[in-house]
């Protein structure tokens, strides 16, 4: 992480319009956002401190803190305790409704091969929720796989997957640190996932998830719930994934179908 002395910043552009109906913190947010988006403040560089921003823009510490807090939640800035506030790397784009390739190949196609730390890979009885998602009887044996997935050494998503043990028993011993689980299921278990149904929801990080994803407790996360299906229509996987809100952005491809009905 590099820190540039403030005298070497290219510019500190913009002023707060005290006559504007826009709150001061929103104006300050947009000034800082412009500095970042224009490339005046580079990725990884430290921005001026809170007292310096107060002096530069003639605003209170409360205004500065609110602006920095929201920009941090939006993923443009990140803070290091005792060091200051820095410009974040751009968010990682992921496909929400496109080809059902899974996170591994989605990231591989973007030139960012992921690495997984496997936290759990065990056999458990399906509880009421998991059994309902997979259309199984309660107590049926399922494989639980919990992985913390990294891009460029940064933890990006915590995902818990559940699959019927009877359908793919060899998955229990598979090494999933650097390979696609979907590809393993296809090649080793002779099962082909053809479709899925996903829901997306904004949630806040609890203490456990925050620690694993290296964010503050209460930080915004993007939660995906998904069920994947085989060619015969049977459910093969239920997963719950917690994506860092400051590093993730989802793309959705929309298609409009022509209606040929003249009625």
State how far the Cα of 193 lies from the Cα of 182, in Å rounded to an integer: 8
Sheet containing 235-244: which strands, arranged edge to edge?
Answer: 115-125, 141-151, 154-164, 235-244, 220-230, 193-204
Quick one: pLDDT at residue 91?
A: 57
State yes or no: pLDDT of 251 exceeds 80: no
- What is the per-residue pLDDT across 47-92, written as a single tens digit (0 to 9) for each? 889 999 998 899 999 999 988 888 887 777 878 777 888 887 765 5
State how far the Cα of 103 lies from the Cα of 251, in Å rounded to an integer: 13
Quick one: pLDDT at residue 169?
A: 95
The stretch 242-252 carries a mean pLDDT of: 73
Quick one: pLDDT at residue 100?
A: 46
Quick one: pLDDT at residue 260?
A: 53
Residue 149's nearest CA partner among 175, 113, 123, 182 is 113
State yes or no: pLDDT of 2 exceeds 80: no
Among 27-36, 113-122, 174-183, 254-263, which is the least confidently predicted range? 254-263
CATH topology identical between 6-87 and 92-252: no
Domain ranges of the chain: 6-87, 92-252
Between the alpha carbon of residue 115 and those of residues 103, 154, 170, 209, the distances in Å are 11, 10, 21, 18
State yes or no: pLDDT of 10 exceeds 50: no
CB 27 within 8 A of CB 16: yes
The CATH number of the structural domain formed by 6-87 is 1.10.10.10
- What is the per-residue pLDDT across 202-243, written as a single tens digit (0 to 9) for each? 888 899 999 999 888 888 888 888 899 998 999 999 999 998
Quick one: pLDDT at residue 256?
A: 56
Kindly report the CATH class assigned to 92-252: alpha beta
Q: Which two tokens stand for residue 92?
A: 């990682």
CB 254 within 8 A of CB 223: no
State how far the Cα of 162 lies from the Cα of 100, in Å rounded to an integer: 17
Quick one: pLDDT at residue 71?
A: 84
Q: Which two tokens stand for residue 103?
A: 């996170």
Among 60-64, 159-163, 171-175, 258-262, which is the least confidently predicted range? 258-262
- What is the per-residue pLDDT across 100-138, written as a single tens digit (0 to 9) for each? 445 544 544 555 556 789 999 999 999 999 999 999 999
Choice between 39 and 201, residue whose per-residue pLDDT is larger: 201
Q: Within 10 Å of residue 262's Cβ, how many Cβ atoms?
A: 4
Cα separation of the two ends of the chain: 64
Choice between 14 and 258, residue whose per-residue pLDDT is larger: 14
State how far the Cα of 95 lies from the Cα of 88, in Å rounded to an integer: 21
């Amino acid at each position: 992480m590099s820190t540039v002395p403030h005298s070497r910043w290219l510019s500190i552009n913009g002023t707060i319009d005290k006559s504007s109906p826009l709150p001061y913190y929103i104006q300050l947010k947009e000034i800082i956002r412009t500095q970042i988006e224009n490339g005046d403040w580079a990725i990884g560089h430290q921005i001026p401190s809170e007292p310096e921003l107060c002096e530069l823009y003639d605003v209170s510490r409360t205004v500065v803190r609110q602006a920095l807090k929201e920009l941090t939640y939006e993923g443009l800035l990140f803070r290091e305790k005792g060091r200051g506030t820095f410009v974040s790397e751009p968010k990682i784009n992921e496909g929400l409704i496109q080809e059902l390739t899974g996170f591994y190949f989605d990231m591989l196609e973007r030139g960012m091969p992921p690495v997984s730390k496997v936290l759990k890979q065990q056999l458990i009885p399906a509880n009421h929720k998991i059994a309902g998602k997979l259309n199984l009887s309660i107590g049926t044996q399922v494989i639980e796989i919990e992985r913390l997935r990294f891009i460029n050494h940064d933890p990006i998503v915590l995902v818990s997957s559940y699959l019927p043990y009877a359908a793919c028993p060899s998955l229990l011993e598979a090494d999933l640190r650097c390979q696609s689980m979907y590809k393993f299921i296809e090649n080793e278990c002779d099962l082909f996932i053809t479709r899925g149904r996903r829901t997306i929801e904004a949630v806040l990080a609890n203490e456990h998830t925050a620690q694993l994803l290296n964010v503050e407790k209460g930080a915004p996360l993007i939660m995906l719930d998904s069920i994947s299906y085989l060619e015969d229509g049977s459910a093969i996987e239920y997963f719950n994934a917690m994506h860092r809100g400051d590093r993730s952005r989802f793309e959705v491809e929309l298609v409009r179908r022509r209606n040929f009905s003249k009625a």
